[in-house]
Structure 1
Amino acid sequence: MEIRHRYRLPLARGMIWLMALLAALPLWLGWHIPRAGASGGSASTAPRAAPVVVIPAHQSVESGLQAFLERAFLEAEEMGAYYIVLDLNTFGGRVDSAQAIGELVKNSRIPTIAYVRGKALSAGSYIALNAGKIAMEPGSSLGAAAVVDGAGNEVESVKVVSAWSGMMKAAAELRGRNPAIAEAMVDKQAGVNLPELGRTVPKGQIVTLTADEAVKVGYAETVAPDMEAVISFIGGADHPRVDVGATPAERVARFVTEPWVASLLLIIGIAGILIELFIPGFGIPGILGLLGFGLYFFGHYIAGFAGFEELALFAAGLLLLVTEIFVSSFGILGLLGAGALFSGVVMAAYNTQQAALNLAVASVVALIAAGAVIWMFRRRGVWNRFILSDRLTTDEGYVSSRERRDLIGTTGRSLTPLRPAGTAQFGEERVDVVTSGQFIPAGSMVVVTQVEGSRVVVKEQRDAHQS
């Protein structure tokens, strides 16, 4: 009982802290941080006149940007904005996120103009095409929307290219722009004639338009040197300007939801918890494990992907795994716990397939890392609570009873019959003795021939008895 108690105490303490952290995280976030799809409270401080709301998008198109734009567009609607200026500067990003952002821009109840500053390439060009108007900074460019994979290699799948090309053409047609140009931005086999520019883009090339070219072909309404010129172009010079920026939490969420960062946090979380389980003490590994999982769910919660259900599922999985350690369920609780953990992590992500892949890779790496650490500190491991590792030898200082080597050669008298064990007296001391199998009557003279630990071996001294 004492061994089991010594093991349970640090583990139970660690699990209590973990459950408390997971329970408190969404509560704190709910009170202090605006979540995607919820008002950030800007409406109460907005000017009374309908403002021009400027929303920046100066990074890769991914799920974190999508969550930020959803919140920003909602705030603009709550302000009763006169116009939204979507300040674009991006080399592109994820197609699925671009599609969601494009739908957001297209369906906005507030008129929207995309102001391209620098680049609006690939997925960025699709977002711009969904805006009611497009303004471009001198020297900026729009287009180059070929589909590429995670390694940056161009995807040549006819099905994929056709789907993305169709989306680009639909966005162009929606705003009265030439769909053939949008198709040529995606499919290098399309080719397009540009009479406004006096040239033809042949097959094998992707269309990219400069600011002046975009205006000439009807893909942009104006070239504007700065934001003030854009606001004047839409008739917003007399309207107050409100800039909606990302909160610190949203910036963290964008970083955390990057696939490689999410994988790293899962590795830290899994490895830290495993090390803490097998080398109890709730020290640095446990704290790092909690921080890893905490940041993972924090980022996905702020991005609008994770909710209370995913956190509860993850916490239940941890509880089931710990219960399996102390309660023999033939692995049932362990399997249920692992399933709940897996489901909580995957469901908290925007892309469940990517999350499952991240979790699989993270689990393998974490098991290797945790195994190496556990092996290095194996003498402090939990199994040492149950296994006696010291050898109980005399050389190690363990003595079960006093060895009477001082009696060897001593002569005494048997007080009881030795059959073969009994009692003999040596001087004033009574000692338990044993013979080598012979019977020695009481009152016989005996001599100690051997001592083995607590075993004192005697034999009869016949000459002394006869005398």
Structure 2
Amino acid sequence: MKNIRIMLFSSLLVAAFAMMIFVPSAAQTEGEGKTVYFVPVEETVERGLESFLSRAIETAEEESVDHIVLEMNTPGGRVDAAGEIAKVVRETEIPTTAYVVREAMSAGAYISLNANEIVMQPGTEMGSAQVIDGTGNAAEDKAQSAWLGNMRSAAEINDRDPQVALAMADPSIEIEELNLAEGELLTLTASEAVSVGYAEAIAADREELLEYLGLEGAEVQEFELSFAERIARIVTHPVVIPILLSVGGLGLVLELYSPGFGIPGIMGASALFLFFFGHTVAGFAGWEALILFIVGAGLLVLEVFSPSFGLFGILGLGAILTSLIMSSFSTVNILISFVIAVLVTITGMIILMKYIDRAGPMKRVVLNDATTTELGYISSNSRDDLAGKTGESLTVLRPSGSAMINDERLDVVSEGGYIEQGRKIKVVSVSGSKIVVRETRTEDKDNKKEENE
């Protein structure tokens, strides 16, 4: 019996030791050995952000990351960019959490609704997602209706009340339990979002968030914007694009009026380089667009120095416009930007030609010097002193030839008639080096005729 007890006790010790070795703790099974990506969703939602988030999620999938956290801090932005971002978030098989660290307004709210879960920090907000046009007013009914459909679908994907999502985008919808005033867009605080089922939890920091997700021991990786992507986010903004194109066009036109290659040319070329660089990094443009733009610019320069009755100019403008459309994420946006740039460039040319030589430091841009008589520049000596003088034709004048006037052999031209050699002549006018003469015999006859009359 004693031996049996010893064997039983030994067996229990071995079993306990084996469990300690081969069975991990609860914390280990839930968190350790896993990876969480924290991806910032900051500032305005635009196509540059879309490119960045697409790369982040693609990288996470390649590295088999266990969870993606979108740290939301955005006032909103473009509807089209938000739609593409939401699609990427929905389609990934990696679990996603929208973690609102300050605000997720408008397009930011829509992106958050497409994540599997929403967690908010205390004092943060989410909502106010009405579509606004370029003038700051509510968009037309067609665009608003499409947006409401998107908000409803995003809410239904994760079993959230669609009425709450619609209230964020439509001020006519009321939510009684939230005491929403009539005509106001819904904006949820963290506690309100939890109460209506739009946020699963409130977490003050990342540690609390990971604890809620059951990933306390997970490896945390920061996915940050590269320097090139930061530039791309700026230059692909719809407001920045027409500015870059305007500076580019105006700078290159101004360069045509100044010798060499100076500051205007550098500014223009830099602005256009930033446009194509940013759109290339964002994934919208390729080398073919840049090459086409260079060809178009070359054709415009060729039109200036070798006129082709507008053929090179039309081909050049067409090539440039095509390259811009190929580089852009929105044909409408780039066409508007192109028109603005053309108007700014034409206005700048008019101001340049009309006022630039009058005052200010820009006087040095254009060469205004001229070889005028007032400044001492003459093409030949003027012989005004010969007016009224008489002489003799040394050669036949028909109508040009040589004459002796004041004992000086000169090249002269008759007033229009034929004058034989050896005839008496008189200088009737002098224009620079041109000396016009008349036969004196003809002049005498005319005088006698006038006397007889």
User: TM-score, normalized by length of structure 1?
Assistant: 0.73
Instruction: Report SS of the residue matched to 2:239.
Output: helix
Aligned to 1:123: 107
Aligned to 1:166: 149
Aligned to 1:73: 57
Q: Deviation digits for residues 231-277 of structure 1, max 9, x if unmatched?
A: 22212222211001111111111111222222111111101111223
* C-alpha separation in 1, matches of 2:168 and 2:158: 17
Deviates more, 1:451-460 or 1:106-115: 451-460
Contact 1:280/1:381 (8 A) holds in 2: no
Identify if the C-alpha distance between structure 1 residues 397 and 104 changes in structure 2 by more than 3 Å, giving closer, same or farther. same
Identify if the C-alpha distance between structure 1 residues 200 and 447 changes in structure 2 by more than 3 Å, giving closer, same or farther. closer
* C-alpha separation in 1, matches of 2:161 and 2:436: 110
Q: How do 1:56-205 and structure 2 match up within 5 A?
A: 56-155=40-139, 157-194=140-177, 201=180, 203-205=182-184
Q: Deviation digits for residues 49-69 of structure 1, max 9, x if unmatched?
A: 441110011212111211111
Aligned to 2:228: 249
Larger radius of gyration: 2
Matched residue type, 2:53: L
Aligned to 1:235: 214
* C-alpha separation in 2, matches of 1:415 and 1:98: 93
Instruction: Report SS of the residue matched to 1:100.
Output: helix
Identify if the C-alpha distance between structure 1 residues 397 and 223 changes in structure 2 by more than 3 Å, giving closer, same or farther. same
Contact 2:39/2:56 (8 A) holds in 1: yes
Instruction: Report SS of the residue matched to 1:177.
Output: coil
Matched residue type, 2:45: V
Deviates more, 1:389-398 or 1:305-314: 389-398
Displacement of 1:205 in angstroms is 3.4
Contact 1:136/1:211 (8 A) holds in 2: yes
Residue of structure 1 aligned with 2:280, choices 301, 305, 310: 301
Contact 1:50/1:79 (8 A) holds in 2: no
Q: How do 1:325-336 and structure 2 match up within 5 A?
A: 325-336=304-315
Q: Deviation digits for residues 183-213 of structure 1, max 9, x if unmatched?
A: 222222222344xxxx554653332222122
Bigger relative contact order, structure 1 or 2 (CA pairs below 8 A, ≥6 apart): 1
What is the alpha-carbon root mean square deviation over aligned residues?
A: 4.0
Identify if the C-alpha distance between structure 1 residues 372 and 423 changes in structure 2 by more than 3 Å, giving closer, same or farther. closer
* C-alpha separation in 1, matches of 2:97 and 2:381: 90
Q: How do 1:445-456 and structure 2 match up within 5 A?
A: none
Aligned to 2:204: 225
* C-alpha separation in 2, matches of 1:149 and 1:440: 89
Residue of structure 2 aligned with 1:355, choices 334, 337, 342: 334
Contact 2:292/2:319 (8 A) holds in 1: yes
Q: Deviation digits for residues 37-88 of structure 1, max 9, x if unmatched?
A: xxxxxxxxxxx94411100112121112111111111121122111001000
* C-alpha separation in 2, matches of 1:182 and 1:192: 11
Which runs of 5 or more structure 1 residues have no equivalent in the other structure? 1-47, 461-467
Instruction: Report SS of the residue matched to 1:259.
Output: coil
Matched residue type, 2:221: V
* C-alpha separation in 2, matches of 1:243 and 1:416: 100
Identify if the C-alpha distance between structure 1 residues 67 and 440 changes in structure 2 by more than 3 Å, giving closer, same or farther. closer
Aligned to 2:446: none
Displacement of 1:404 in angstroms is 9.0
Matched residue type, 1:97: A
User: TM-score, normalized by length of structure 2?
Assistant: 0.75
* C-alpha separation in 2, matches of 1:316 and 1:112: 46
Deviates more, 1:174-183 or 1:395-404: 395-404
Residue of structure 1 aligned with 2:238, choices 259, 263, 267: 259
Identify if the C-alpha distance between structure 1 residues 72 and 399 changes in structure 2 by more than 3 Å, giving closer, same or farther. same
Instruction: Report SS of the residue matched to 1:252.
Output: helix
